[in-house]
Amino acid sequence: MTKVQNPIIGRSKGSAGGMTFSKSLGKNIMRAKAFEVNNPKTAAQTTQRNFFIQVSDLVANFSPAQLRTLFPALPKGITRRNALFKQIAAENQTVDNVKIVKLADILTLGNAPTMDFGTTTCTNNAGTIAVGLDAAVKANVSVKDYYFVVVVVNETKSGMIMPAVTAKVETGELSITAPDSWETSDTIHAIPLILDDKEGKIALVGYGTLSVANRPERI
């Protein structure tokens, strides 16, 4: 609570009781003092703090260049990194009173136009991640000549990778080297992203100069 003092009080400064006094723009200002929190580490606060750490760790996997590719249009009022944070944080669940990211529900990222990608397969075989696009996507004449990349989500390890590995949509298959810490028993899935690229330039220019043209719908 803030009040402007009556001039008759004079130029008060400091604290008295539950109030503090100061001067701003030629006026005496009186504010209620903030009360100290007796227990700043309640179970709810700790759960929320740990949840934010998990989301932050996931977002940290993406470089500024990758974020420019994921978000071809600059989000309104926030940074691309904060926009990604909001997208990931929106998919959450509470298990045994602990709030966590529901990684299985992260099926799209960024703000490019969406389309139906059908079923994308993703398996880890002896350290090589094999991704396959749906047959209907490979045959789609409007996108078959473009190249695609993927974000691979490790639901078990709470991890994400966006390798600079690409293939033509009509080919529809990618092979990616899995991170050393990922195991074949981990549950993983891939988010396919079609680029505005018909030449397979990712190896030459990297992320940042290319943009996602189509991403999966949010189910």
What is the Cα 206 distance to its own chain's centre?
Answer: 20
Distances (CA, A) of 190 to 32, 41, 162, 168, 208: 52, 37, 10, 16, 20
- According to DSSP, the residues that pair with 136 across neighbouring strands are none
Q: Which domains does the chain have, with CATH numbers?
A: 2-32 (no CATH), 43-216 (2.60.40.10)
Percent of residues, the chain, with pLDDT higher than 70? 81
159-206 confidence digits (pLDDT tens): 999 999 999 999 999 999 999 999 999 999 999 999 999 999 998 999
Distances (CA, A) of 202 to 63, 171, 208: 15, 16, 10
End-to-end CA gap in the chain: 44
75-99 confidence digits (pLDDT tens): 999 999 999 999 999 999 998 888 9
pLDDT of residue 23: 59
pLDDT of residue 46: 81
What one-character DSSP code corresponds to residue 37? P
86 φ/ψ sector (left φ>0, alpha ψ -120 to 50, else beta): alpha
Query: Using CA atoms, how far apart are residues 160 and 137, in angstroms rounded to an integer?
Result: 23
pTM of the model: 0.80
Tell me the residue ranges of DSSP E strands in 33-137.
92-95, 98-101, 114-115, 121-125, 128-132
65 or 30, higher pLDDT: 65
Helix (H) or strand (E) holding 192: strand 188-195
Confidence of residue 100 (pLDDT cuts 50, 70, 90): very high
